[in-house]
Every structure is written in structure tokens, then in C-alpha cells.
Structure 1
């Protein structure tokens, strides 16, 4: 396979990365990425950077990387970074001409790296994305191009405590929209238990948890002060005011809100796929339902998860081997094991069916992922971080009582303009 490389693009990368670096926190210079002595792109070592430092060299993930390297005729030199460090280090490496051959990166970051000219597109690498769910692929798309392949996805839903609901006389099947959910919370609190907990902290975690309610109202991220948006933040505010949700949600991370639910006192908790194993150890019967939209149905929740990408290299002859590595990491044969290891829902319907067959508890998560959307979708791209910051600032202001929903969201809309 031959992949065209345009000399002009390299010049563009250096200039664009310099601009991108101006808006990220400075980091120390990292070690050489591609180790470009293998000018033919065959044999030798290929570098892979990923955001999974929790998996050491003995893990199934590390073994898969080694296996994909062997199948591609190369040795894998893997480096794992915390997610927060990976973007900065990648931008710096691209500026220095030492980007990794394969980069696995959080999906909202793809647009930032693509706009900076750091990433090749799937058109360049000839990657087949035809079987990938369009809503998941959208998180890595911009300007009519796709920059990588999703390795898997997670999202949010509502966990519920069966014992708490039963004691309050609530049938979870009746919870289909915002009014019925609020009615259920009223019954639970009247019975002496607690209603719902979630993460409303003033970080991306808070935005992530608010988006199902924001999108579920019909609101758009380009119109933060719409009536639908006001309805969404008013819902959370009303829950706090009536005692259906604790004031701690203002500072809760997803971890601390989960700890509240795990106490056994709460009826509901908004949280993610990654908490399923913890739920099974909580000591009480639980269930999971999708986050309901305002008027019924499933609310779109934001997708979490990473894309496997191929950064721009000085030596274009390396691309065919990089493309083989991407295909190995994301193909149907490996996807089931990979997504099980990473606690993700697979990005293709065929593998999703295998996951549910192996673990029926994942059925609700498959449905939630198939209704989810990327945070940078709707052509937001690199505009998303600024919008997210203003949205979560507005939510914090409302929950704390500093501003009314309309005033806070109007201020946020003025700032993103």
C-alpha cells in the first residue's frame, strides 16, 4: 500500500502546532517518538503512545500490542501517559519531528490534533471505517475527513438501587421521561431514602454528566441560552432545591458521586460503563436504564473512549506499517478482547452482539452508546472546549444559587460568541 505524502503538509504541521502549543499548558520535551532510522518503514521498532498507564507490560492490552507488532513485522515500543499529559506531549513531539507512529487518544482531542495538522486522515491510510457506527466515528471527523478509528466507546446511564425503589413503591418501568423520573425521586425521598447523585463539578467531568440532560432537552451547544437549555439546568437546580439531589453534586467527581451511590442510600446515580464491575460488588441489587430525554425516549449521552490515529511522519514509507497496526488493534477479531479489557462497548454492531451474548448486562450500555454522540460532533471541533467551559461555569453558577438559569446561560452564550 502506498500513501501519498505532501511536503507542504510538513510545513503546515510545524506552523499549526506552534499555534496549538500556545493554548495548552507547557510541558517538558519528550523522548524521540518514531525513532526514524527505519526509513523503509519495515522492520525495526515502531512507537505506540496510549493513555492506559494502568496496564503494565504483563496486561492483555500490552500483549495485544506486541502481537500486532509481530504480525506487522516490527517491534513495538510502547509509552503510556496520563490522558491529561498526552495531548501536550503529542503536540511537542510533532513540532520536534518525533511524533509516535501510532497514537491512541481521547476522542475530543482528535479535532485539536487534526486542526494542528498532526494527524493523517483515514483517506491517507486507507483505513476501512465502513462498519463503524456513524455516531461514534463522528467524534473524529472534521472538514469532511476522518482522523482515526475508534477503539471503543463508553457513555453514561442511570444505575438504580432495586431495594430503595421497591421500598418507595416505584416501578422503574414507569421512569420514561423527566416528569416521571422527578416523581420517582419525590417518592423515594418521602420514604426516607435519597434520590439521585451525579457529578456537577466545574471540570469536563461536570460537562460530560450534564450533556445527556442538555441534549435530552433538545438544546444545542451553539445556543446555550435557548429555552431547552434553561429547562435542563433548571431540572438539576430544582432537584437540589427539593432535596432530591445532594448539594455535594456541585463538587462531586464521577468517582465521589459513585461512592455516594455505593453507600446504598440512593435510588439513582448517573455514571458510566466503567462502574459496572463496582456495582456488582456494592452489596445490593441494582439495575441500569438509559438517561431519559425530557419528553421521553433515550437522551443522547456523550461518548467517551479513544481513537487509534496515525500522526504525520517525516518518512512516509512508515505509514503502511502504521496502518497495519491500526487495523490489527481495531479489527473484528481483536475488538472483543480489546474492548473487554478496556471496559468499552465495541464500535461495530457485530462485535456489540458478541459482547451482549457474553455479558447480558451490557445490553443497556449498547443501547446507550448507539444513541450517544461525540462532544465535538455537529462540526464543533476545536470550538468545543471553550463552549464546554462556559456551559459548566453556568451550571455551577446556577447550582450554587449565584445566578438564575436564564442569566447564567445568557452570559455563557455571550462569551462563546
Structure 2
């Protein structure tokens, strides 16, 4: 058995737990499995958007990119977790798709398993991509693919609730001013902030802006900064500024709480913009503040366009054209609008804000954002994330102090990532 095949079998045996609702569909798999070795000018593209059918702008773009490249595109949409498992299995069997679009934390898993070509090998131009977004696809000094766009987190607020509490959202610049605002809201008879602290990757996704915003690093979960971040959350629950329901909230149920109109703030993402417009009350959005002031680094959601390894390397020339088409400035703008994503390049971001000023705060958040697998963590990230969410669940439920919970998490993560 080759080293690559060994890695593929090991990776295929694992369940990838880094998908979050922000960038993942929850639809069931209804598409037929394809093969990357199709003849007759047919090229396979697999994506995590099964919610889009053949009449959608997304599938029309895939078809157009194939036509422009002189080939026929066969597209298959899978649920994100299912897509990862199928990609690993297909690589093991030697029938990978030509283009694979995957949730950004999965890139490191597939790259480590030997599934993906590098951007240099495929001549993918990533020079215009924001470095903080590209970092999610960089492992061991190599880049795998190119981001199609990104989403991240910020704080939605209910203007009526804040006005009644005499809170100016533009004055919230750090943790102290945010907590002070929550206390004023509570004193005015309303509820403070809702978020997701569920014991899954989704909870970790929501904890990371506070963790990173304290100056903490994922390689040292129990640092003084990390403890401060968890103390912030536990303090909010203890003081009645956040509900106990956060322990079980997904990002969807957290939003549903905010949509009642009783809460001042909701930590949520770009994907809720359409729902915000339907909420029935005036809302606004501010970046998540860091402890000392400024915008906290929030984690990036969103997908990378990648090119799996092929036995028939002559196919790469056409694959390059397909990737270039999907990520061109004009097409990226259309795609990111469809997916409620912020573009990966400054030029397209500027166009988005010019057309929709409401996106300005999201562009600022994305510019400060960070990939979960960045800092060359790669496949170590899931082994750190699980102890982290176990820690904040323990602290928020009162079964352990923030310090003790994170000490246990650090011991577990250190052993898992040796």
C-alpha cells in the first residue's frame, strides 16, 4: 500500500466534524454519484449545494463554464458531510471528480489524505485573494484551491430594544462596553444577547470570536486570555444577560430567539440577512468587539474550489479553465450574492458594498476573520475544537470553572495532536 493510499483509507474511516450550518446545506443527498473518469468531454463537478437545482443561477454558471471550456459539465450536489466522505472514498477508488467545492475546514483533511492538487500545480491564480481567507486552504506551506467566498459572524441588534435602554450601538467597541449595554437592556426589562453554545462544531464557531478576541491561541486553550473569554460567556449567564438556552442553541434556534423581538443582540452570520429583513423590527449590525477594542477575528465559513488528483493528468488543462471561470471577478460576484457570501477579493468586496451598503460591516468582519485551520493547524483543528466545546459546555452548565474546564481541554487536545 502506498503512503497516499494509506492516508486515504485512514481519512475515509474518520467522520469529519467541522461542518457548521453557516456554510453547509442540511438537504439530503438526492444526486447520483458520478465518476471523475468520464469520457466524451464530460467533466465532473461536486459541490455542497444540493438545494440548487438545474434551474438555479449556480447550476447555470457551472454549465456555462463548461461550455466556455468546450466540455460538458456533470454536476452533483451533496450535503457537506456526505460530500467529504464521498470525496475520500472516490479518491481511494481512483475516480475523483475534476472539480470539488468543499467547506474550508475540510481542505486540510483532503490535502493531508493526498486527495488534492496544489494551486501551483494547477496554475490557480490566488494573488488577489485576501491572505486571511486563503490561509484556511494552506497547509505545510502549500495552497490547495481558492476560496469562492466567505461568511462569518457579527452582532445583529434590535434598534427598538436598544433605544428603550438608551444604548448607542456605535459606542460598543470592546467587551466592557458590550456588557454594560447588556446590563442596561436587562434593567429596561428586555433580554440581552443570544448565541449558540451547543456542544458541536457550531458552538466552537460561535465561541471563537471571543476566544481569539481575547488574544488567545488554539494551541493553548487554558491561557489566561482563553479563560477570560470563557469567563465572559459564563458571566453573562450568571448575571442573566444571556439565556441558559444557549447551551442547546444552534445558530438557527438562537436566531429564532432573536426574532421574537425580546433580545437586544444576536451573534449570527451573513446567512441570516434575508431572515433579518423579515423579522418585523428595525435591526442593525455591528462587528463582534475584541476584549481590548477593535474588531475580533471571527472564524470564516465558506467553500474552496479545489482540483482533486487525477490519473489522467491531461484533464488538468480543462480543469484549470473551469476553476478560473468559477472564481473570476464577475462570476464570483454573482455566486457570492446567491450564497450570501462576502467575496474573497478586495475588488469584488468593494463592488458588493457599492451595490449594497448594508454589507459594509460584513466586509469589515471578513477582513478581520480567520480560518479555523489557519496557523498551519490543518487536521489538528477538529482535535482541538471538540475539547474546547466540551469545556465551554462544562463551564456554562456550572459543572466546572472556566479555568478547570479549559485545563482539561488543553490536556485532551495536547494528547490528541501530538
User: For the superposition of Structure 1 and Structure 2, which TM-score range results when normalised by the shorter chain?
Assistant: over 0.9
Q: 1:34 aligns with which of 17, 33, 36?
A: 36
Q: 2:4 aligns with which of 4, 13, 16?
A: 13
Give the C-alpha shift of residue 32 in structure 1. Answer: 4.2
Matched, 1:253 2:253: no
Gaps of 5+ in 2: 17-28
Quote the Cα distance in structure 1 between the aligned partners of 2:4 and 2:15: 16
The answer to whether the 8 A contact 1:32-1:93 is kept is no
TM-score by length of 2: 0.94
Question: Which residue of structure 1 lines up, in the alignment, with residue 120 of structure 2?
Answer: 123
The answer to whether the 8 A contact 1:13-1:94 is kept is no
Question: Deviations along 1:131-152, whole A, 9 cap, x unmatched?
Answer: 0000000000011110000000
Quote the Cα distance in structure 2 between the aligned partners of 1:333 and 1:13: 37
Give the C-alpha shift of residue 24 in structure 1. Answer: 2.8
Q: 1:213 aligns with which of 207, 210, 215?
A: 210
Question: Deviations along 1:274-320, whole A, 9 cap, x unmatched?
Answer: 10111011011110000000010000000000000000011000111
Matched, 1:272 2:269: yes
The answer to whether the 8 A contact 2:62-2:73 is kept is yes
Give the C-alpha shift of residue 329 in structure 1. Answer: 0.3
Question: Deviations along 1:234-266, whole A, 9 cap, x unmatched?
Answer: 100010011100000000000000000011110
Matched, 1:90 2:92: no
The answer to whether the 8 A contact 1:33-1:101 is kept is no
User: Which SS does the other structure have where 1:123 is aligned?
Assistant: coil
Q: 1:65 aligns with which of 62, 65, 81?
A: 62
Quote the Cα distance in structure 1 between the aligned partners of 2:315 and 2:2: 19
Question: Which residue of structure 2 lines up, in the alignment, with residue 7 of structure 1?
Answer: none
Quote the Cα distance in structure 1 between the aligned partners of 2:112 and 2:202: 24
The answer to whether the 8 A contact 1:336-1:351 is kept is yes
Matched, 1:302 2:264: no
Give the C-alpha shift of residue 16 in structure 1. Answer: 1.4
Question: Which residue of structure 2 lines up, in the alignment, with residue 394 of structure 1?
Answer: 391
User: Which SS does the other structure have where 2:105 is aligned?
Assistant: helix
Give the C-alpha shift of residue 172 in structure 1. Answer: 1.0
Quote the Cα distance in structure 1 between the aligned partners of 2:38 and 2:138: 28
TM-score by length of 1: 0.94
Give the C-alpha shift of residue 171 in structure 1. Answer: 1.0
The answer to whether the 8 A contact 1:196-1:268 is kept is yes
- Runs ≥4 in structure 1, deviation > 6 angstroms? none
Gaps of 5+ in 1: 1-9, 39-43
Quote the Cα distance in structure 1 between the aligned partners of 2:173 and 2:320: 44
The answer to whether the 8 A contact 2:34-2:76 is kept is no
User: Which SS does the other structure have where 2:381 is aligned?
Assistant: helix
Matched, 1:54 2:51: yes
Matches within 5 A, 1:142-221: 142-221=139-218
Question: Which residue of structure 2 lines up, in the alignment, with residue 3 of structure 1?
Answer: none
User: Which SS does the other structure have where 1:128 is aligned?
Assistant: coil
Cα RMSD after superposing both structures: 1.3
Quote the Cα distance in structure 2 between the aligned partners of 1:32 and 1:191: 58
Quote the Cα distance in structure 2 between the aligned partners of 1:88 and 1:302: 23
Give the C-alpha shift of residue 173 in structure 1. Answer: 1.7
Matched, 1:108 2:105: yes
* Aligned positions, number: 400
Matched, 1:24 2:15: yes
Question: Which residue of structure 2 lines up, in the alignment, with residue 74 of structure 1?
Answer: 71
The answer to whether the 8 A contact 1:36-1:315 is kept is no
Matches within 5 A, 1:264-413: 264-413=261-410
The answer to whether the 8 A contact 2:33-2:76 is kept is no
Quote the Cα distance in structure 2 between the aligned partners of 1:308 and 1:182: 40
The answer to whether the 8 A contact 1:51-1:105 is kept is yes
User: Which SS does the other structure have where 2:410 is aligned?
Assistant: helix
Question: Deviations along 1:26-82, whole A, 9 cap, x unmatched?
Answer: xx9x844213435xxxxx110000000111110000000000000011111011000
